[in-house]
A and B are shown apart, each in its own frame.
Chain A
């Protein structure tokens, strides 16, 4: 089973968090210092934060996107301090699924979430997160032991279901997962107790639009200004930017912004060609500045197929770190093409950042397709692209 297959590597990689083979390891934690806070000392003692691991190539701290297959394509995961831009597929089906995987991964790892949307209430989005993939046997074992049981007891109980010992213990408290990247069952919902135990902040634009601005009007639209202020507030108040070094346990802030650039945010670049052409790009720039100076990672989904002015798309791509495009086959002529019948769409890795390096991890495979089976979202290499489509 796929989940077990990666267990070994997962445990292996966390075991090697402290003893990573690369010679740059000693400096990797110091590298994080200037980026995340002014004082190196607080970060040179940086112990591994739950749900992160240093990249094999450059010691960059990575978090999982919620899809282990996508993590692999991106060189191990999403680097902390960067933006992952998902270009939405036409009907926003698979991109919202990726969005939910990202948030679900945050809950499992105990990260703090910041969910921003102009379309759905963040509380509703969280209710619909997919459940982590666990076997039913394991769930029964888990239900028997409440979270107050000591780990020693739970170890004993697992003698028969020993494979699942490596899976993270599902506790209602802060979850310290021993794995990097989990699989999710898209047909089931995340257990309510996990959602309630997690720490999250929601930004639902229709609710916040009425409050007043305390920043000078610049060319950003109202929604973007409020969102930036909200994000900056959370980062500052909860100390993600290292401004409060006495905080007990460092954590990652996962920011998810849905449908950025759509008219629901008050931006008109999807409606007209001569819309406010700088609002979105300015927003992205300041957002990236915020991310680079804090322990956070951001996933944005954007309906780029709706943006009328193509120049904006290329500017947005240049201003983001990682860009992944989704193209679903629904409604296109490829849906009935027998060569594509196993897949639901194509996934294009448009840009991967070169962080702290001249080179970057780029996979040789350029034709990738995805499919959503009953439980799993898988990405596979396809050489169907050569068939003259």
Chain B
């Protein structure tokens, strides 16, 4: 994983929750990276894509070297296209519970149908053949669920249930993106972000530069390794890099060491 410049191994302990967070900038490049990374690593991926369409991820994925259509066809990728399904759910009553059922309801209590969908998608294949490696749940992004009427607690519950199934039971990983609304007093979002930060093993935080827009440095990435289950006798490790996004990759460099400056 030379793009991200840090030790990364799938054979290491799995069952991790990685939190992607963006503040004042667009952190979607992280989502694209993880999607292509896990697909290339032969994992079974369930991608809950709430904010963009399938073709968007597919086209960017092709630039990064994976084909989502092929992965979907051979069963490696289960893709929930939020935008398209929302139209189906909203305008036509569905016979069976739909993962985005809460769009039709005035006061949806919880995200259980969505959880059932994830659980079903990452079910181990019964024919004895271990075709794929550990299951992965990828969500882009959780803040949209708040905009659609779910409370922060419901979303936290959803992640909790998913962790129990995906991380603990199936030894998989979860990667989720949450926006950091900064100073715009979005309390629900802050609750969600803080709650997830405490549960995560790895936090990747993409921030815009404090000095504003710059053409050569698009932002700053802070990486924080945590061990939520153990008491914090050891300090959490943290690293900061600045980055520039290019057409097919992202280049990272230490603070102030942008090639444009040197």
Residues of A in contact with B (beta carbons under 8 Å apart): 31, 34-35, 58, 81, 215-219, 228-229, 232, 278, 281-282, 285-286, 288-290, 292-293, 310-311, 313-315, 318-319, 354-359, 362, 364, 366
Check B105 for interface membership: any CB of A closer than 8 A: yes
Assuming the contacts A292-B84, A311-B187, asked whether A358 and B250 have C-beta atoms less than 8 A apart, the reply is yes
Task: Specify which of B93, B147, B184, B189 is in contact with A281 (CB 8 Å cutoff).
Answer: B147
Is B147 in contact with A318, judged by CB distance below 8 angstroms? Answer: yes
22 residue pairs from A and B, CB less than 8 Å apart: A216-B106, A218-B106, A218-B149, A229-B91, A278-B148, A281-B148, A282-B148, A285-B147, A286-B103, A288-B83, A289-B85, A292-B53, A314-B179, A314-B184, A314-B186, A315-B147, A318-B143, A318-B147, A356-B60, A358-B248, A358-B250, A364-B215
Is A358 in contact with B60, judged by CB distance below 8 angstroms? Answer: yes
Task: Specify which of A81, A310, A319, A362 is in contact with B185 (CB 8 Å cutoff).
Answer: A310
Is B147 in contact with A319, judged by CB distance below 8 angstroms? Answer: yes
Is B59 in contact with A31, judged by CB distance below 8 angstroms? Answer: yes
- Nearest residue in A to B26 (C-beta to C-beta)? A354
Assuming the contacts A31-B55, A315-B147, A359-B245, asked whether A366 and B213 have C-beta atoms less than 8 A apart, the reply is yes
Chain A min CB distance to B255 (Å): 21
Q: Which of B26, B28, B51, B188 has the most CB of A within 10 A?
A: B26
Chain A min CB distance to B31 (Å): 11
Assuming the contacts A356-B55, A358-B247, asked whether A311 and B148 have C-beta atoms less than 8 A apart, the reply is no
A289 partner residues in chain B, CB cutoff 8 A: 82-87, 90
A229 partner residues in chain B, CB cutoff 8 A: 91
List the 9 closest pairs (A to B, CB-CB), nearest first.
A311-B186, A281-B147, A289-B83, A356-B59, A278-B149, A289-B87, A289-B86, A314-B184, A34-B55
Per the 8 Å Cβ criterion, residues 107-151 of B in contact with A are: 107, 143-144, 146-149
Check B181 for interface membership: any CB of A closer than 8 A: yes
Is A359 in contact with B247, judged by CB distance below 8 angstroms? Answer: yes
- Nearest residue in B to A35 (C-beta to C-beta)? B55
- Nearest residue in A to B107 (C-beta to C-beta)? A219
Check B29 for interface membership: any CB of A closer than 8 A: yes
Q: Which of A232, A358, A362 has the most CB of B within 10 A?
A: A358
B149 partner residues in chain A, CB cutoff 8 A: 218-219, 278, 282
B54 partner residues in chain A, CB cutoff 8 A: 34
B144 partner residues in chain A, CB cutoff 8 A: 285, 318-319
